[in-house]
Every structure is written in C-alpha cells, then in structure tokens.
Amino acid sequence: MAWQKVKQLFKKILSNPFVKTPLFAIGIVMLSVLVFFTFLHVFTRHGRSFTVPEFSDLHIEKAMEYAKQKKLRLEVTDSVYITTREPGVVIEQNPLPGTYVKANRRVFVTTNAINPMLVEMPDLVGLTLRQAISTLNLEGFKTGILAFTYDIAVNNVLEQHYLGKEIDPNTEIPKGATIDLLLGRGQNNQKTVLPRIIGLTLAEAHNLLLEASLNIGKTSYDATVIDNLDSLQARVYSQYPSPMGETAINFGARVDLWLTQNESRIPVLTNSERSKVDVSDKGEFVEEILE
C-alpha cells in the first residue's frame, strides 16, 4: 500500500508541467554532457598513447604492413637515391622512433627511390673546393673522397669522378650520387689546418672536414649507439690526429672519429686549450716550404 501511494505521489508531481519541463530539460543536458565526454574520450583515446617504431631499412611494403599492425598510417612524402642502400627502403621518418603518439597518427617517411631521378653532372673543373661542394649540394649530389696531386692551383678541382671513373659534365647520373674530387695541393708541400670536431655529429664533422680539405677515416661507435637513429644523434668524443698537437696536416689526410651518445664522454675545452684552437682558421691552409 505504501509503495502504491509513493508511486501515485511521484506521478502527480511529474504530471505537473512546472516540474516536468525543468526535469526534462535537465535530463537532456545531462545526457548531452555524458555523450560529449564519451565521444571525446573515444576520439582522443585518452591515455592510450604508444611509441612510434623504427621503420628505417624496412622495404616500404613491409613498413606499411608494420604500421597497420601498430594502428599507424604511413605516408611517403619524398624519395632520394642512395647507392649504398636497398631500393624502396625507408630512409627517414617523422615522427622519430620512440616518439609517443596516439593510434591512427600519420608517420611521414622518405624512401630510397627504386628508379632514381637522373640529373646532369655539373662541370666542377676549375672551381675551388668550396665552390664545388656548394654546386654539388645545390644539384643534389654528395661530396665523396678528396684526393690531391701536385699542381699550382691549390684546392682547385682538376678532375671529377663517379664510381671510380672520371665523369664528363652533362652526363646523366642518379640524383644523390657521391662525387669524388681530385684537387691541386700546390707545389711547396702546402698543408691545411686540422679543425677540432669534438662534440659534432658525424654529418657536421664530415662537412667541417671537407671544408678543411680533409677526409673522414675510420668511424667507431661505443656501446651507447645501437641503431641507425643512435648513429645520427651520436657525437664525436675523440679524433685522431688530435688538434691539440700538430695543427698543420696534409691535404686529403684521413681523420679517424669515435662517437657516443654519452655526453659525459665528450671533453670540454679549458680556457688554455681553447686559446690553442683557432676556430676561425678552419678551412684555411698553411704553407710549409721544404728545405
């Protein structure tokens, strides 16, 4: 009986339009809020992020399948041609491996072209080394080994080589190819200044050595460098020859490098050591006359 009276009371209250209408409006608002936050939670996948895997060195088809398994979308944005890498493999990616993202995130990759774009070889003969490097970069080529021979034209290009053979201007070769150069070293045993490349990445060290008319020798990595990404981020902690001793070195000499990701292994110059290293001299050469 009591339950029946309660039900009748609620029906009477709810039948009143002054009570029913506000309650109905409040119910709609609460339902809308609930639906909105449920949709927002699903859409943003709150708290469900994961790290991006490494796609480097995977063929693009396998990389696509791997990305699908990881609920990611892979998009090819560019292609280059590197002779030492397998055609069709992933060269670079963005975001980088280890970056936290949510599902369905797009990952942009650069692949090694299967059919490389052919471009004409520029004429570098007669240019200075700095001009030649700039021209090669502009045309999409890479500067390879620097060789030197006795010639009055110091640091000027005498020959240009591709795959071990001299190459004529306007010859079509793959974009991104590596071009070796033969340059003059003077007739009086002129030398170049050895730069200090401690703390630089391998790419930065290579560029600085080229500017100084030098070549990279052996590169060694410590235990902190595991994969390709680590090697790109690693920095030089030791070099041979050392710039703190004899700073004059023969044109084309090779400089061996040791790299790490452990910053504590990278030495910092003291004030006295810094005074011995003239950074402004990088790329310049000195002259030594043999008696």
State the pLDDT at residue 281: 45
Q: What is the mean pLDDT of residues 19-44?
A: 66
C-alpha closest to that of 225 among 237, 215, 209, 240: 237
State the pLDDT at residue 175: 84
Q: What is the mean pLDDT of residues 176-193?
A: 90
State the pLDDT at residue 204: 95
State the pLDDT at residue 283: 44
Q: Do domains 118-184 and 192-286 have the same CATH topology?
A: yes
Task: Specify whether domain 192-286 bears CATH 2.30.250.10.
Answer: no
- The CATH-assigned architecture of domain 118-184 is 2-Layer Sandwich (3.30)
State the pLDDT at residue 29: 72
Q: Is the pLDDT of residue 178 over 90?
A: yes
- The CATH-assigned architecture of domain 49-112 is 2-Layer Sandwich (3.30)
More confident residue, 49 or 106: 106
- What does DSSP assign to residue 261? S
Q: Where are the domains of the chain?
A: 49-112, 118-184, 192-286
State the pLDDT at residue 210: 95
pLDDT band at 229 (very low <50, low <70, confident <90, very high): confident
Asked if 132 contacts 155 with a C-beta cutoff of 8 angstroms, the reply is no
State the pLDDT at residue 275: 53
Q: Is the pLDDT of residue 248 over 70?
A: yes
**Full-model pTM:** 0.62
State the pLDDT at residue 242: 86
State the pLDDT at residue 80: 78
Q: Is the pLDDT of residue 77 over 50?
A: yes
Say which range, 29-43, 54-68, 130-144, 184-198, has the weakest mean pLDDT: 29-43
Q: Exposed (0-12), middle (13-18) or buried (19+): which is 131, by Cβ within 10 Å?
A: middle
More confident residue, 260 or 15: 260
C-alpha closest to that of 197 among 266, 120, 270: 266
Mean pLDDT (the chain) is: 83
